[in-house]
Structure formats: C-alpha cells, structure tokens
Amino acid sequence: MTLDSILKNLDPVISETLDRALSDKDISVEQGIELFDANGTEMNMILRVADELRRRTVGENVTYVINRNINFTNVCIKRCGFCAFSRDFRQEEGYFLPTEEILRRAKEAWRLGATEICIQAGLPPKMDGNLYIEICKAIKKELPDIHIHAFSPEEVLYGALRSEVSVEEYLRMLKEAGVGSLPGTAAEILDQKMRDQISPGRISAKDWIRVVKLAHSLDIPTTSTVMYGHVESSLHKAKHLEVLKEIQKGTHGFTEFVPLSFVHSEAPMYNNDNNKNNHYNGAMPNMRPGPSGNEVMKMHAVSRIMLNGYINNIQVSWVKEGARMSQLLLGAGANDFGGTLMNESISTAAGAQYGQLMKPKYLHSIIREAGRVPAQRTTLYTLIKVFGPEPRESESSLDKADPREFGSYHELIKLDKFRYRNKT
C-alpha cells in the first residue's frame, strides 16, 4: 500500500473537513463532531493538519511565561463536583494566605525572573468585596511592573456581588488596582444543562460569557478554557469551541485557549468513597475518569482546527498532562506551554501527579527535543527572548531555585499559621 492509497481511503467527510481547514474556511459544529469522533488513520490526519495550521499561523516557537501561581485560599462556598481543592470554612484543612504572604510570594517570584503572578482561589464566605482589589494594590505598590493575571469570571462575579456594585464597575476597579488580564477558567463546558449536572450553583454559562465580554470591552484580555473527559459528548465540545469563536469574532479579547483534562481521582463527582469532601453519592452515570490519550490529542488538534485564525495560541497544561504528553501535543496543534507555576494547588488537590514547578531549563529541553524553538513570552504574548538550538548551562535564575523553598499544597493545608479557622 502506498501513502497515496492511504490518503485516498480516508473517510470522505473527514477528508473534506480537513481540506476546508487547510483552505482557512470555518469548520461547523457538525464537522467538529466528526473530527472529535474520528480514530485510526483519520485521527492521525487530524493531528497532522492541526500541526500544519499551527506552523502556518504561529511558526516554530513554543512559548511559555515565567510566573507564579498563588491560590490564596481553598475555603469556598461552592461545591463543584470536579473540585477536590475547596474546603468548607469549618474544615481543618481550610487555609487562607494573608496579603503579606501573597506579597512575599510575589516578590520571591519577581526576584527569580517571573513576569506574571496568577491569582485564583476559592470563594470564602462573607468575603470583603475589597479583598481582591487590596491584594492587587499591595502587589502593584511593591512590584509595579509585574503582570497580575487574576480572578476567574466566577471570582469577578463574587467580588461584584460582595461589593454591591455592577460587574462592569467591579472590572473597572480591578483594572485600576492593577489586574492586567483574567484567567478564563470556570468555563468547563459552556452548556447550562451540563453545568447543572457537574457543578450546580457554579457561575452560569450566560454569566461566564457576560463577564468575559464585559472584560474584553474594557480592554482586559482573558484566556479561554474547556474542562473535558467527564460526562460531556463530542457535541458539547464542538459547541463550546463555537461559542468561544463567536465571542472572539466580536471582541478579539482571548489571548489563548487551554484544554484542561478532568482529573478524577479525588473529584467528588467521581465515585471515591475515601474522599472526605464528597458531596455526591457515588459516580454520576456515564462519568469518565478523565480523557483517554486519544481524546487529549484530539481535543488539542480539533481546537487548533476550529479556532485557527480566531484564537491562535493553543496551550498545553503540563500540570494536567505531564511533560511527556505535553511534548506530544506540540505535534497536535499546540504552540504554548503555559507557565512555570512554582506553586499549584487545584490540580494537585484533584490528584494530578506532575508537580508544581517546571523549570525553564527543562521546558527548553522538552521543546528542543520536539524540534521546536523555546521562547519566553509575556502574559499577553509579546516575545521576551527566543532561545537558540543549543542548551546552555542555565537560562534563567529560576533554574537554580530549590522547589522545596516554595512550599507545597500538601504542607500548606497542614500549617497552623495559615489555618482559615484561626483567622476567623
């Protein structure tokens, strides 16, 4: 059999869809579903086309940002079914980092070359609406040049509610206090029926879209995400991508798209009798333990194919996928490796095993080995430095840091000094 005959035997629907993509034509939801459902040779061709579109649109650079994640509290009034991070305010393991500690972490990160601080947390009960504003002001006072990437649409909504101001007004206040962009988390799947199933009480699909559009209208860019590998279907995923594409057509405010695998092992909505935080009695019907390897590959590739020309940066989440899978995803349409993180609590609490720090030196070696070019960027995708093909001894002061200095999530939930109960 020749290569030509393999291509000739390709499913005609997939073949036509991939032709459209290579001609820069839009891919419909129905065509997206076909791509998500494909396997075997068809799947390999989907990956190949995604890789070609990536090459044409953003070239060979694989970008990343030096940042630190600060999840300043795990105490939360909500009970999302996929979340193993949140704790009730009465629980022993509830923690809350005071502003001085957030500032200490931010300064330490800045000294190690970070250009971004990413702040996301639980929604503590009766929170002072000014808390987010005060945190940003305190950081900006000490570190005026650091980019604050903070507060998901869910947190923005909560901050506005607690401050008794409109979402628009609250976004203005955040911007004035120093927020440079918002994480587009809390999107999961933008389908209300699905949200009611996996995270009742979570920000609605309508409100997520409203907050994001308002942020974009105020020149506050956001990222965009999907969480998949639980009970969703190909239709949900394709529709989700379509919703994001339509928002982007109107606002141009998304900087990137990040597929996030569902991490099941500690998630309350997955059957886990040992989970003390389990509010769900057993597994939901049709619940999957996260996506399979093929699903992860297709999620990234189909995202590239459906979003190309609209959202051009497709990010891999090494925290969810690990270094090896992330490297493979660079050949399936992805062009960005996210951040170095330094600390990570949310995926770690859910059972992710890939640690909380990715040193630039290691990132570079993964990227180079994939035949691509490592490049450090800002949060908003301005290139800071493009690295050559040859590894050097050390390319960032973060390479020399001892990860134990940053503390871990598992240590944090045991520390008396940051216990939420003590605070109250």
Tell me which stretch binds ligand SF4 (CB under 6 A): 74-82, 138-146, 348-356, 387-395.
Answer: 74-82
123 lies in the binding site for ligand SF4 (CB under 6 A): yes
Six-digit token string for 298: 């297709």
SS3 content of the chain, % helix, strand, coil (to 5): 45, 15, 40
Tell me which stretch binds ligand SF4 (CB under 6 A): 13-21, 77-85, 87-95, 309-317.
Answer: 77-85
242 lies in the binding site for ligand SF4 (CB under 6 A): no
Q: Out of 122, 153, 268, 339, point to the residue binding ligand SF4 (CB under 6 A).
A: 122
Nearer to ligand SF4, 281 or 382 (CB): 281
Q: Out of 80, 112, 189, 307, point to the residue binding ligand SF4 (CB under 6 A).
A: 80
Site for ligand SF4, residues 154 to 173, rule: CB under 6 A = 154
Sign of CA dihedral 198, 199, 205, 206: positive
Tell me which stretch binds ligand SF4 (CB under 6 A): 71-79, 129-137, 171-179, 301-309.
Answer: 71-79
292: three-class secondary structure by DSSP: coil
Buried residues in 287-323 as b, exposed as e (16+ CB within 10 A): bbebbeeebbbbbbbbbbbbbbebbbbbbbbbbbbeb
Residue 397 DSSP symbol: G
Please calculate the CA angle 147-151-153 and round it to the nearest 5 degrees: 130
Tokens 């240590």 correspond to what residue? Answer: 411
Q: Out of 86, 261, 272, 345, point to the residue binding ligand SF4 (CB under 6 A).
A: 86
- Which residues are bridge partners to 254 per DSSP? 222
76 lies in the binding site for ligand SF4 (CB under 6 A): yes
Q: How far is the CB of 154 from ligand SF4 (least distance, A)?
A: 5
Give the x/- contact pattern for ligand SF4 in 175-214, rule: CB under 6 A.
---------------------------x------------
Nearer to ligand SF4, 258 or 366 (CB): 258
85 lies in the binding site for ligand SF4 (CB under 6 A): yes
* Cβ 185 vs Cβ 227: under 8 Å: no
DSSP of 64-96, one letter per residue?
A: EE-EEEE--B-B-S---TT-SS-B-TTSTT-BB
Q: Which residues in this chain contact ligand SF4 in the complex, by CB under 6 A?
A: 76, 78-80, 83, 85-86, 122-123, 154, 202
